[in-house]
Amino acid sequence: MRVTCAVIFLDGKILATQRGPKMKLPYLWEFPGGKVEAGESEAECISRELKEELNINVKLKGKLNECSHQYDDFEITLIPFLADYKSGTLTLSEHMNYIWLSPDELHTLNWAPADVDIVNQIIAQVTRDK
Q: How far apart are CA 102 and CA 106, in angstroms?
A: 7
Mean pLDDT by 10 residues, the chain (130 residues): 96 96 94 96 97 97 94 93 97 96 96 96 80
Please give the model's pTM, rounded to 2 decimal places: 0.94
Q: How far apart are CA 109 and CA 34, in angstroms?
A: 20
Q: 109 - beta bridge partners?
A: none
Q: How many CB atoms lie within 10 A of CB 32?
A: 24
Pairing status of strand 75-87 against strand 2-10: parallel
The number of residues making up the chain comes to: 130
The pLDDT of residue 130 is 60
Q: Which helix (H) or strand (E) is 30 found in, with range?
A: strand 29-30
Q: Which helix (H) or strand (E) is 64 found in, with range?
A: none
Where do the domains of the chain lie, and which CATH numbers do they carry?
Answer: 2-129 (3.90.79.10)
The pLDDT of residue 61 is 95
Closest CA relative to residue 108, chosen from 98, 118, 117, 119: 119
